[in-house]
Amino acid sequence: MINVSVMGGSGYAGGELLRLLTSHPSCELQAVTSRRYAGEPLFRVHPNLRGVTSLKFQKEDPETIISKSDFVFTALPHGKSIEVVPQLADRGLKVIDLAADFRLKDPAAYKEYYGFSHPHPDLLEKSVYGLPELHRNDIKKAQLVAVPGCMSTAAILSLAPIVSDGLIDPNKIIIDTKIGSSGAGVNLTLASHHSERAEGVRPYKVSGHRHVAEVEQEIGYLVGKGLRVSFTPHAVNMIRGILSTSHTFPNNPIEPRDVFKAYRSKFESEPFVRIVSDKKGLYGLPNPKVTVGTNYCDIGFEIDAHANRLVLFSALDNLTKGAAGEAVQCFNIISNLDEKTGLNFAGMHP
């Protein structure tokens, strides 16, 4: 068994991580920290864990975590992982960070998108962007993995094969994303009130969203140069899930077989990517409803010949494949376990 701990376990992503780790056959959960709920049982915050574990939240004490753990998952707020990850890494622990603190390779991007100067650019160089479908070999050898953002994961997975095969103009990518309320995190704001969010669709951060930096970084690697994407998220009336719609423009006339070929060549052996482009049935294109609670990302497309447009769709659960599930997937890879361990389950329907 591998001894693991979670720092910052009281948020939504932390709770999803605990749900997965408590049933993982190769994990022994040793400690879970929370500044606010220290001393309280986990089920006080995450009621779905009642009867599953007797663990209690404890204070954030890196030395205690280090003494108990081989692996540490950090699910702290953005900007807080920076305070503890260097100490954990210096002591030889393997760390999987669910925050944004080590996702970007360019230190200057943190000033632009997160408003602070990154104090550990050396760790940015060493960290691995935790998207297994693109960086599996690097993840295997990593000490520090930075789990991608949820909307970034959805957009990048749908775009990567298409960009890699040169099917579209990489300088004309327009990403429209719908996300459920859990994507805003557990802390209350005016925008998260049910009476404000329900029965509406609210665009927010229409330009300059933080996940732009991740998409441009990863797609830029694939084309071998810097690029710019357009990205606008919308808050919609669901709790969990993301639907990402990318409007792209082919370089030459394309047929469906060209798109299928691109996706098959990249994702045919991927355990958590499903190609959903079916002319029959209610779920002929990706719908986040059927990915809730799973580590799947469903990808589909339509060709709009009239406007010379290739529309790409991807759907996933923002807390699972978009956060905790992806973290566990990376953990499995580093630990030389079957990648599907603790994640191989279907969603619910209806």
Tens-digit pLDDT profile for residues 214-247 = 999 999 999 998 899 999 999 999 999 999 999 9
Residue 191: pLDDT over 90: no
Confidence at 74, pLDDT banded by 50, 70, 90: very high
188 pLDDT exceeds 80? no
- CA pseudo-torsion sign 45, 46, 50, 52: negative
- Class of residue 176 by CB neighbours under 10 A (exposed 0-12, middle 13-18, buried 19+): middle
Task: Give which of 23, 30, 321 is closest to 147, Cα–Cα.
Answer: 321
pLDDT over threshold 90, residue 141: yes
HSE, CB side, 13 Å, CA atoms: give it for residue 125. Answer: 4
**Whose CA is closest to 335, among 74, 143, 84?**
143
| pLDDT band, residue 298 (cuts 50/70/90) | very high
What was the pLDDT predicted at 190? 85
| Higher per-residue confidence, 280 vs 303 | 303
Q: Phi, psi (5° rounding) for residue 245?
A: -120, 120
Give the mean pLDDT of 267-282: 93
Q: Looking at 27, 150, 297, 330, which residue is catalytic?
A: 150
For the chain, how many helices (H) and strands (E)?
12, 14
pLDDT 10s digits, 117-136: 999 999 999 999 999 999 99
Nearest to 127 by CA among 74, 77, 164: 74
Render pLDDT for 152-182 as a digit per residue (tens, 0 to 9).
999 999 999 999 999 999 999 999 999 999 9
pLDDT of residue 186: 87
Calculate helix-pair angle for 132-140, 325-334, nearest 10 degrees. 40
Domains of the chain: 2-126 (3.40.50.720), 151-318 (3.30.360.10)
Quote the CA–CA distance of 339 and 281 in Å, as a whole number.
Answer: 31
Note the pLDDT of residue 259.
Answer: 98
What is the overall mean pLDDT for the chain?
96
The C-alpha atoms of residue 325 and residue 333 are separated, in whole angstroms, by: 12
- Catalytic residue check, 150: yes
- What is the rounded distance in angstroms from the CA atom of residue 130 to the CA atom of residue 148? 6
The 10s digit of each residue's pLDDT in 3-62 is 999 999 999 999 999 999 999 999 999 999 999 999 999 999 999 999 999 999 999 989
For the cut 90, the answer to whether the pLDDT of residue 282 exceeds it is no
Q: Does residue 277 have a pLDDT over 80?
A: yes
Pairing state between β 202-203 and 144-146? unpaired
Cβ atoms 177, 242 nearer than 8 A: yes
pLDDT of residue 184: 87
The model scores a pTM over 0.95: yes
